[in-house]
Structure 1
Amino acid sequence: MHFIRQVFPDKPLLDIADDDIIYQLPYRFPEGAPAFWHHGGRRALGIKHEGRWMAFYHPGDMNDAWKSQGYTDVTSEMREAATSLGVNLVYYAFNHWDDAVTKAKK
Structure 2
Amino acid sequence: MRKMFLLWLVCPVLLNAQEIAVLKYSGGGDWYGNPTSLPNLARFCNQNINTKINPKTATVEAGSPDIFSYPFIHMTGHGNVVFSDNDVINLRNYLTSGGFLHIDDNYGMDKFIRKEIKKIFPDKELTPVPVSHKIFQGPFLFASGIPKIHEHDNKPPQALGIFVEARLVLLYTVETDLGDGWEDQEVHNDPREVREKALKMGANIINYAFNN
Question: After alignment, is 81-90 or 63-72 more displaced?
Answer: 63-72
- Partner of 2:163 in structure 1? 48
Q: Aligned ranges for residues 1-106 of structure 1 at < 5 Å?
A: 1=110, 2=113, 3-39=116-152, 41-59=156-174, 60-67=176-183, 68-72=185-189, 74-96=190-212
Whole-Å Cα distance in 1 between the matches of residues 191 and 156 of structure 2? 16
Whole-Å Cα distance in 2 between the matches of residues 8 and 69 of structure 1? 38
Whole-Å Cα distance in 2 between the matches of residues 8 and 77 of structure 1? 36
**Gaps in structure 1 of 5+ consecutive residues:** 97-106
Secondary structure of the corresponding residue to residue 90 of structure 1 = helix
Q: Is the 8 A contact 2:160 2:172 kept in 1?
A: yes
The Cα of 1:95 is off from its aligned counterpart by 1.2
The Cα of 1:5 is off from its aligned counterpart by 3.2
Alignment CA distance shift 1:36-1:6 (3 Å): farther
The structure where helix makes up a greater share of residues is 1
> TM-score of the superposition, structure 2-length normalised?
0.42
Q: Is the 8 A contact 2:162 2:170 kept in 1?
A: yes
- Partner of 1:99 in structure 2? none
Alignment CA distance shift 1:5-1:62 (3 Å): farther
Secondary structure of the corresponding residue to residue 44 of structure 1 = strand
Alignment CA distance shift 1:77-1:6 (3 Å): farther
The Cα of 1:51 is off from its aligned counterpart by 0.4
Root-mean-square deviation over aligned CA pairs: 1.6
The Cα of 1:94 is off from its aligned counterpart by 1.3
Letter of the 1:20 counterpart: H
**Gaps in structure 2 of 5+ consecutive residues:** 1-109
- Partner of 1:101 in structure 2? none
Q: Is the 8 A contact 2:148 2:177 kept in 1?
A: no
Whole-Å Cα distance in 1 between the matches of residues 203 and 118 of structure 2? 24
Whole-Å Cα distance in 2 between the matches of residues 79 and 21 of structure 1? 22
Secondary structure of the corresponding residue to residue 58 of structure 1 = strand
The Cα of 1:81 is off from its aligned counterpart by 1.1
Whole-Å Cα distance in 1 between the matches of residues 177 and 128 of structure 2? 17
